[in-house]
Structure formats: structure tokens, C-alpha cells
Copies of this chain bind each other. A is one copy, B any other.
Amino acid sequence: MAMTGVLRPGHAQIRVMDMDEAIHHYRDVLGLIEAGTDKQGRVYLRAWDERDHHSLILRKADRAGIDFFAFKVANAETLKKLDSDLRAYGVKTEKIPAGELLETGERIRFEIASGHQIELYAEKAKIFAPHQLLNPEAWSPQQDKGIAPLRLDHCLLYGPDIEKVQKLFEEVLGFFLVEHIEIEPGNDLAIWLSTSTKAHDIAFVRHPEPGKLHHISFLLDSWEKVLRAADIMSVSRVSIDIGPTRHGVTRGTTIYAFDPSGNRFETFSGGNYGYPDWEPIKWTMDEVGAAVFYHDRKLNEAFLSVVS
């Protein structure tokens, strides 16, 4: 098989401080579809073009941030093998039983060197409606409800020891490095990793505090939809960090903004794609500004300092 092992980002569980505000933000402004609420009160959402039950889980807590980020793997056999590979590599894994998340099978959870909880799972209920699989229409009003991203695309996490994280993702999970910002040879400020032909399925920035979230990212169709996202954010008084603009890294167009709890999210479009036989693109510190914000060619103050 050409697409094997770890397939794609599956879900992120993030912490929000006011659930009503969070639901308003993610459902009404961002335009995600509410998929359910579990006994713990966690709220599940997905984007309109996703086919699995949910991709975002909101948990009420007293501080913002990310609980865990999960990847869908090809099948149960793959999950078992990756669990075994992780243990053989020296990673302690934990089994979360099926059903702990709504409509989701058993998950393998493990902590990586940057201090983040990562999960793998093989099963989640498909929710793609029959009419979407049989003679589907190319447009529906759902595509215009709120900002209306197509999918959860990736996340950018901040923490220490990202060279160890990269090694694990490459050697055990089958990811490859697409782009990186080099402080000096062998010492990266940031790494973008892919398990597919996407420009990134997950990314990391070196940061002293472990387990921090820079942003979760949602994919839009076009640069015009990025403009519409910015307009809807302004109408909705969502706090925009920066954008619309373009990243040098991945060449994607982007807006960074904050949810009501202070979690940064991104709405982005376009950008590069990658293949494992390609040499990674390298950025050096003298061009770190252009790497992150291509038009301004300088970092804004928040980029390196504001995380949740």
C-alpha cells in the first residue's frame, strides 16, 4: 500500500474556560458542526467536509491549552503494530478503552519529549451521509455557515527537545520532515512534519515550557475564503493575531486568531505539498521573519511568546 500506517490528524481535545462561549465560537463563528456531548460534558465538533464523527473536542477547564492530539491509523493491525513499535522504541504507551470518546475505538496514548500527549486510533464512526457518497452535490448551504473550514488540518505545538520528537515521528510513526527553521546545524527552532502529501500534519517549535499549544489549524478552500474568514472574525469581534497574510514556510495563506479562552487557531489555505523523497526546505534565522510571515518579513511579538 502506498498510504499506510498513520493516515491523518484525527482529533484535538482542547481546554476552554467557558463552554457556552466556546460553542458559540467553534459552531457559530467558525462554523463547525456539533456532533455530540458526552457524560463528562465534553462537546464534539467536526468540519463539514470531514467523514469521521468528530475532529475537535472541547473540555471545560480553568486554563486554556491542548489535552491531546490524535492521529487516525490505517486499521486495527496497524494500531497494534505501532503500539508495539513505540514500546520497543522505549515509549510508554497507555490504552484508552473504546468509547471513552464518543464513537471512537481504542486509543493508544503516549507522551512525547516536548511534553505533549499524542494518540493513535484505528476506529471512529463514519458520519458521511449516504447522499454525500452517492451522486454528491458540489455545494450545500453548510459550506457557507460561518467560516466553514473543510477539515481540521494540523496543529503547531511548543515544547522542548523537538529533535527527539522529530526522531520519534520519523523512525517510529513514518512521518518525514518537509521544512525546518535552523538555529544552527543540528539545532532547529521549528520543524514541519508530514505523514502524507500535505505540507504538514503536525509541527513543533522549540520552547522551554513543555506541552504548550501554539495553534490548531483549519483548512479553507481559497484565499478568498481566507478574506471571508477575516471579515467574519471582525464582525464577530474575534481577536485576530495576524493576517490575512502568507507563510513563507509551506507558502500557505493564513490568519491566526484566538478563541474566547485564548487558544490560538488558524484558518489557512493553499500551500505546498510534500513527498518523502524530497529534500526538506531549510530556513535560517536571518530569514525567520519571512519564513513565518512572508509579507512582513518579520515576526510579530505574539508569535514566539503567546501560547496556551
Contacts and interface: CB of A to CB of B under 8 A. Distances in A.
Contacts of A287: 135
A275 interface: yes
Contact of A2 (B75, B173, B234, B243): B173
A87 interface: no
A74 B134 contact: no
Interface string A128-162: 10001111111110001000000000000000000
Nearest to A297: B234
A90 to B, nearest CB: 20
Copies of this protein in the complex: 4
A297 B240 CA distance: 9
B6 A4 contact: no
A3 B176 contact: yes
B295 A140 contact: no
Given A7-B277, A126-B279, A197-B198, 13 more contacts: A1-B5, A1-B176, A3-B176, A133-B279, A133-B280, A135-B287, A136-B281, A137-B234, A138-B234, A138-B235, A197-B197, A222-B224, A244-B244
24 contacts: A2-B4, A2-B175, A2-B195, A2-B196, A3-B195, A3-B197, A7-B277, A75-B277, A134-B282, A134-B284, A135-B291, A138-B234, A139-B232, A139-B235, A144-B144, A196-B197, A223-B223, A223-B224, A227-B246, A231-B294, A234-B294, A234-B295, A244-B245, A244-B295
Interface of A: 1-8, 51, 72, 74-75, 126, 128, 132-140, 144, 173-176, 194-198, 221-224, 227-228, 230-235, 237, 240, 243-246, 248, 251, 253, 270, 275-284, 287, 290-291, 294-297
